[in-house]
């Protein structure tokens, strides 16, 4: 059979670091081991019932069997604007400041292709969501990393960035609540970011995927709540986490008109339209009963407490995340993040994501997802304790 080589663009994409971990975990499952997979970010709860019912009803409506408007139905854009005003006090023009996305990942990968030319500079967090790198590669742009360090609450320290890099940068990715660290930014940090963006003409893209998940009574702020934020950037929000709609592939971008226009233009070329019934269900999620969001947040906080309390009790010195559904845990001395992840899988059949897969500053940590029951999290703690790596205080 003739072999057709892949394009230079495909070959330039970053390697899928976690593919080998997923494969190895699958091998243990096939061999009959009871594997507790805490290494992935796939919500484990079903979509709330009232959203599913809306989809079922909408799927029967013949209007949704046709192509829907390429840029999304106006009712969904209005629902997004209503959601942002209700939750964050942010006013949005539904027609000009809202773009419907085919999942948050799609928007994050599209943005560099919308705004950058080959050789342009992008500021990305390290550690950070690996798909930021994919969009940069597709745009043939260059990355400059912003270290996220524990001593700075896993926020980038802008004073440490080189003036040359700031002057060259056209785009910056941020993500709070943060994947993988679980850190939460405050409004003061976002206001500092707006000032930096104005000073250096940088477009800010805030990935707000975990915006609905904050702990200890603290509601994570929206970047757009900072004065002048819409002048310098956008925010991307997905329904995957807040409403357990990961498989539905629906999200939106809000903010700067020119960036929203660019997103809608590229999507006009890439896609036809999002299934109308999914759009109706998304509008129901955003504007319907919100008890499910509160209950989900409480469940994740209880799981967090179960995990962190358990790990501390066996002698692992860990810090509780302030948001997201991830915990970012220091590996014990003498191990790399990949070595420790391998030991957890091989000796305890617990899957954790090695921090180095999120960037060089992720070395020394593993990421654990709060995406299974408290009982399974407690079982994972028990298995890790039996490795006798940690000493109880």
Per-chain mean pLDDT for the chain: 95
Q: Do domains 8-46+292-385 and 49-287 have the same CATH topology?
A: no
Residues ≥6 apart with Cβ < 8 Å to 33: 349
* Distance from C-alpha of 25 to C-alpha of 350, rounded to nearest angstrom: 9
Q: With a cut of 50, list the residues of the chain below it in pLDDT.
A: none
**What are the C-alpha distances in Å from 191 to residues 126, 153, 195, 225, 229?**
21, 16, 6, 9, 8
pLDDT number for residue 185:
97
pTM for the model stands at 0.95
Q: Which of these, 96, 127, 126, 122, lies nearest to 111 by C-alpha position? A: 122
CA dihedral 119, 123, 126, 127 (to 10 degrees): -100
- Token pair for 180: 């993988």
CATH code for 49-287? 3.40.640.10
DSSP codes, 178-240: -TTT-----HHHHHHHHHHHHHHT-EEEEE-TTTT-B-TTPPPPPGGGSTTHHHHEEEEEEHH
8-46+292-385 adopts what CATH topology?
3.90.1150
pLDDT number for residue 272:
82
For residue 356, give the DSSP letter.
G
pLDDT number for residue 374:
96
pLDDT number for residue 137:
93
Residue extents of the structural domains in the chain: 8-46+292-385, 49-287
- Token pair for 130: 């690996």
- Residue 100, SS3 per DSSP: strand
Per-residue pLDDT reduced to its tens digit, 308-345? 999 999 999 999 999 999 999 999 999 999 999 999 99
Report whether 155 contacts 183 (CB < 8 A). Answer: yes
């Amino acid at each position: 059979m003739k072999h057709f080589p892949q394009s230079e663009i495909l070959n330039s994409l970053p390697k899928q670091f976690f593919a080998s971990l997923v494969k190895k975990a699958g091998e243990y499952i096939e061999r009959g081991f009871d594997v507790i997979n805490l290494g992935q970010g796939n919500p484990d709860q079903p979509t709330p019932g009232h959203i599913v019912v809306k989809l079922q009803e909408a799927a029967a409506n013949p209007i949704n069997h046709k192509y829907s408007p390429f840029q999304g139905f106006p009712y969904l854009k209005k629902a997004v604007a209503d959601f942002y005003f209700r939750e964050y006090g942010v006013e949005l023009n539904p027609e000009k400041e809202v773009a419907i996305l085919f999942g948050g990942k799609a928007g994050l990968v599209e943005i560099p292709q919308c705004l950058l030319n080959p050789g342009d500079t992008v500021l990305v967090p390290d550690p950070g969501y690996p798909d930021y790198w994919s969009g940069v590669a597709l745009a043939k742009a260059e990355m400059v990393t912003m270290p996220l360090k524990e001593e700075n609450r896993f926020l980038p320290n802008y004073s440490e960035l080189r003036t040359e890099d700031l002057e060259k940068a056209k785009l910056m990715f941020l993500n709070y609540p943060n994947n993988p660290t679980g850190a939460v930014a405050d409004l003061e940090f976002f206001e500092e970011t707006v000032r930096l963006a104005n000073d250096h003409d940088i477009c800010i893209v805030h990935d707000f995927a975990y915006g609905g998940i904050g702990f200890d009574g603290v509601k994570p702020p929206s970047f757009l709540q900072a004065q002048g934020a819409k002048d310098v950037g956008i925010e991307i929000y997905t329904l995957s986490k807040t409403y357990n709609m990961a498989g539905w592939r629906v999200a939106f971008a809000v903010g700067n008109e020119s960036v929203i226009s660019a997103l809608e233009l590229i999507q006009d070329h890439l896609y036809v339209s999002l299934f109308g019934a999914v759009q109706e269900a998304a509008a129901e999620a955003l504007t319907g009963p919100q008890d499910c969001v509160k209950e989900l947040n409480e469940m994740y906080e209880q799981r967090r407490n179960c995990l962190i309390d358990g790990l501390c009790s066996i002698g692992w010195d860990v810090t509780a995340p302030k948001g997201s559904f991830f915990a970012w845990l220091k590996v014990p001395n003498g191990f790399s993040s990949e070595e420790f992840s391998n030991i957890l899988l091989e000796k305890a059949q617990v899957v954790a994501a090695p921090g180095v897969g999120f960037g060089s500053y992720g070395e020394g940590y593993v990421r654990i997802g709060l995406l299974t029951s408290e009982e399974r999290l407690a079982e994972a703690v028990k298995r890790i304790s039996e490795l006798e790596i940690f000493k109880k205080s």
